[in-house]
A = this chain, B = another copy of it.
Amino acid sequence: MMKGFFSTKLPKEVSEFIVKFDSVGAEVVSIERALGRVLAEDVSSPINIPGFDRSTVDGYAVNSKDTFGASEAVPAWLKVIGEVKMGEVPHLKIDRGEAIRISTGGMLPQGADAVVMLEHTHFIDETTIEVLRPVAPFEHIIGFDEDFKENEQVFKSGHRLRPQDLGILAAIGKSEVSVYKRPVISIISTGDEIIPIKQTPRLGQIRDINSYTLSAMVEEAGGIALRMGIVRDDIKELKKVCKEAIDKTDMVLISGGSSVGTRDYVLEAISSFKDSEILFHGVSISPGKPTILARIRDKAIWGLPGQVTSAMIVFLLFIKRQIQWIGGERLFPISSKGIRAKMARNIASAQGREDYIRVRLKKREKEILAEPIFGKSGLISPMIRADGLVRVDINKEGLYKGEEVEVILF
């Protein structure tokens, strides 16, 4: 690898690289533990659901014809011949002029084709009700296969499981499910100035912020973070830790040491692997420009800026999606961690790169205002005060006060 190699990519080019990596393997988990996991199998229903015609209200199962024309003025009179027990097949069937008491979820008895709501009936003697409104055939009923038909596909592989999805797996009796493993992501902090958090910094030293911030972001993205600790600016040591990380885990994040200086150990370490391919070095975003992506044995190795804000932005824009991708997710829902707001003031920006502005949100009457938070990207405090990021398009020179923007929340 030539030193000083520098080929800057556009954000959309980076997004194309991201999906060019394979998924991790699958494992079987119980549905109690499957929330947020990604299906590694297609799922069909082995049964009709609910399996029988069910009432959706409390009331009386009837033959709908007996209620046609019923009104408060001219109610229909029906004889109540019994009650449907929940969870059981009704032992009675109704004939014309008869009704059976039924609760929500109860199984419709033979001879009935609809349910009259309790509140539209009155008892006129011990065994007779008057029905004050007509019901249509199948009214207040869920049909036996209305939720899912036998063998109907319920989910495709690549779908991330939500609470209601676990509900349907429960309904079809699928207590275990095949899901992609959580990708394991190793995190390496580099720099002679970085010390473990339990040490007290001397002048010139700073505690390891990035390992903790990035680990938490990996966790939020559905991965498992493996902190490999701090590596000093020593090429041999860095190569050794990189090798261990590549051997053990599915992706490697190295923060620090990726700026274009003379001490570019990270690029040197990554390039030293014989099957290493540097996909790019530099993205036209700010902050976050000095980012490296390499491929070693079909694993992604990211060299991230040492400044925590820059590293976070690169993570939010690209790495999060890649963790989801290698974690098997393919059916990405239309979703948003975004919120619309209006800029609280003008912001200037350079053309030729996407700028990401940290903003704090404020409610003002019905509006939400996005107030820029200024601060160098080497500071972490602006990320604490900020609620999210606003993107300034690569072709824009800035944003105007009052302009509507989408805020990427974090």
Contact = CB atoms under 8 A, between A and B. Distances in A.
Interface of A: 31-32, 35, 47, 49-52, 54, 56, 58, 85-90, 103-107, 118, 142, 146-148, 154-155, 162-173, 175, 191-195, 197-217, 219-220, 233, 256, 259-263, 306-308, 312, 333-340, 361-363, 368, 376-381, 383-384, 387, 409-410
Contacts of A256: 105
Contacts of A85: 192
Contact of A142 (B193, B262, B379): B379
Prevailing SS type, chain A contact patch: loop
How many copies, total?
Answer: 2
Contacts of A333: 361, 387, 409
B87 A191 contact: yes
A362 B260 CA distance: 43
A312 to B, nearest CB: 6
B368 A334 contact: yes
B89 A204 contact: yes
Nearest to A199: B173
20 contacts: A86-B191, A86-B193, A86-B204, A104-B261, A104-B378, A105-B191, A106-B193, A107-B204, A142-B376, A163-B216, A164-B384, A167-B209, A170-B207, A172-B207, A173-B207, A175-B197, A333-B387, A334-B362, A335-B409, A336-B338
A309 to B, nearest CB: 8
Given A104-B259, A170-B207, A306-B104, A163 B213 contact: yes
A57 to B, nearest CB: 8
B378 A142 contact: yes
A104 B118 CA distance: 75
B308 A167 contact: yes
Nearest to A47: B201
A212 B335 contact: no
A201 B172 CA distance: 10
Contacts of A362: 334
Given A31-B212, A146-B379, A219-B35, A206 B163 contact: no
B380 A209 contact: no
Contact of A306 (B105, B198, B220, B379): B105
A263 B106 CA distance: 13
Given A171-B207, A205-B87, A334-B339, A220 B35 contact: yes
Contact of A216 (B103, B107, B162, B175): B162
A193 B89 CA distance: 10
A410 B56 CA distance: 24
Nearest to A213: B167
A125 to B, nearest CB: 18
Most B Cβ at <10 Å: residue of A164, A165, A256, A337: A164
A298 B203 CA distance: 52
B384 A163 contact: no
A206 to B, nearest CB: 6
Contacts of A383: 164, 167
